[in-house]
Amino acid sequence: MLRLIHNITVKVFEKNPDNIQKCLSVFHQLLPIDFEKEKIKIKHEKAEGFFQKIIHILTVKTGKNRHNTLLMKTVLDHLSIVDRKRLIHELPSRIDEEGFFYIRLDKESLLQDHFEITETGDCFHMKIKLAAFPSNPEAFMNTATTLLSQYGKENPDRNKNS
């Protein structure tokens, strides 16, 4: 199978320490494998926000092709038809000059097992490094288009409310 992705970084910022465990479970929902067995680490950092409030930053990075594939398949298969069409329509603005493709998934929705694209900051940030040669905007667009066409096939149960 052609390698479409070099790596994926998923990051979430959480102010409420009581929600850390819920956010960790979302990572396992996004990538449904045994993290320990697969040697996938969830990095946990703390930063100081406004008014000395602590912000927890949780990050997962995948580099293996099968992990990248599973993560993208999980996300794209769970998005509504409307959100998948939105990603395709907004592709030019979601890919930067270095070949990173960005998706934001609404955090509150994910905590309730619902996948939804958002533009707000309260989200799980996905930064997907696309594999393309030559390394130019046209090749990145082709790779992203191929990626989006491989997953998110019709699922009547998921899409009936779309």
In terms of DSSP H, where are the helices of the chain? 20-30, 65-78, 81-89, 91-94, 107-111, 137-150, 156-159
- How many C-beta atoms surround the C-beta of residue 72 within 10 A? 25
Mean pLDDT value across residues 22-28: 96
Q: Is 55 helix (H, G, I), strand (E, B) or coil?
A: strand
Mean pLDDT value across residues 13-19: 92
Residue-level pLDDT at 76: 95
The answer to whether the beta carbons of residues 110 and 23 sit under 8 Å apart is: no
pLDDT in tens, 138-161: 999 999 999 999 876 654 344 444
Which among 51, 142, 44 has a CA at the least distance from the CA of 91?
A: 142
51 vs 162: which has the higher pLDDT: 51
pLDDT at 15 over 50: yes
pLDDT in tens, 78-100: 999 999 999 999 999 999 999 99
Residue-level pLDDT at 155: 43
- Strands across the sheet with 54-62, in order? 42-48, 54-62, 5-14, 123-130, 100-106
Chain length of the chain:
162
Long-range contacts of 88-97 (CB under 8 A, 24+ apart): 88/145, 88/148, 91/141, 91/144, 91/145, 91/148, 92/141, 94/144, 95/130, 95/137, 95/140, 95/141, 95/144, 97/137
Residue-level pLDDT at 152: 64
pLDDT in tens, 103-128: 999 999 999 999 999 999 899 999 99
Q: Return the axis-axis angle of helices 65-78 and 20-30, rounded to nearest 10°.
A: 100
Residue-level pLDDT at 160: 40
pLDDT in tens, 26-75: 999 999 999 999 999 999 999 987 777 899 999 999 999 999 999 999 99
Tell me, what amino acid is at 127? K
In the chain, where are the structural domains located? 5-151
5-151: which CATH architecture?
2-Layer Sandwich (3.30)
Residue-level pLDDT at 153: 60
Q: In sequence order, which residues have a C-beta less than 8 Å from that of residue 137 and are 6 or more positions away?
A: 95, 97
